[in-house]
Amino acid sequence: MILTVTLNTALDLTYRVPALVPHASHRVTQVIERPGGKGLNVARVLAALGHETVATGFAGGSTGEILRTHLAGGPVVDALIPTAGTTRRTVAIVDTATGDTTQLNEPGPTVTPAEWSTFTAHYTDLLADADAVALCGSLPPGIHVGAYAELVRLARAAGVPVLLDTSGEPLRRGIAARPDVVKPNADELAQLTGSREPHRATRDARRRGAHAVVSSLGPDGMLAATPDGLWRATPPAPVKGNPTGAGDSAVAGLLSGLVEKLPWPERLTRAVALSAATVLAPVAGEFERLAYEELLTRVTVTEQPAAA
């Protein structure tokens, strides 16, 4: 079983409009509603890849009830726990004329110390049956900034490999707890290391404690500093569409590859192919299956010089 953690879950709303024009009214041509938050997106992709997946985190209020209704009966096992606050919503507005997406993210509910204590006990119980865990996304108000570091240490104590995908101070503290993999994007990596040179920044991030660092370079693919070397994975060409959730699909690819004990080049190939195929899908947490299978044969992975 693969466990995903989404502390700041969301109900994702995707609106499609013919053209997004500031200061104007818009007629929405399509509305799609899905459970969201990075870890839930990861969970859906993992389930689509055939992995038994359990999702935990917080859900509360009427929005949380709708989110859990969407999860009911699906391939992802709902192990969310209640919070007194109301789960946030995120709104993605897709301009169908250009393919561009505008994202609006509400803040999450405030989590109390008692709720956090309940969650950590629940999380520890779930780790007993987990083959790997993904810790994903932002922290809702009320949770201390070292929360992910705490969860990394609990996973390591249980002997469960852990992937961390967050940003800012939670990433800085979390990476020091020595997760197996971290997956920052270029901006998050620059904020962590102070460098925008991808090779230098990725190697520097790994020296801060992570076993491996996989940096997302957007349409240019991924760069990975691993115990087996430095690797660059590149898609055959940029794809146009909705990039929301592309990084989450990359996390699913990396985590599934870890559980399946694939060598790093194959993990990166899967991650980049899934990320690109997600850009072609209408909503986060999904990917175009045929595009993914075709991209698997066309992603290029090269080993980089140690001093690049």
- What's the one-letter identity of residue 84? A
Nearest to 123, CA basis, from 58, 36, 177, 56: 56
Residue position matching structure tokens 């609006």 = 104
Active site residue 248: yes
What distance in Å separates the CA atoms of residue 108 and residue 91, rounded to the nearest whole number? 14
Identify each DSSP E strand in 64-192 by its residue range.
76-78, 81-82, 88-95, 101-105, 132-136, 162-165, 181-182
Structure tokens at 136: 């994903």
Contact criterion met (CB below 8 Å) for 36 and 248 = no
What distance in Å separates the CA atoms of residue 262 and residue 268, rounded to the nearest whole number? 10
How many Cα atoms sit within 13 Å of 5 on the Cβ side?
A: 28
Give how far Cα 196 sits from Cα of 6, 217, 223, 300, Å. Answer: 28, 11, 13, 23
- Measured at the alpha carbon of residue 217, what is the angle toward residues 211 and 219, in degrees to the nearest 5? 140
- What's the one-letter identity of residue 25? S
Q: Residues, the chain, total?
A: 308
Antiparallel, parallel or unpaired: β 222-226 and 229-234: antiparallel
Catalytic positions, written as ranges: 248
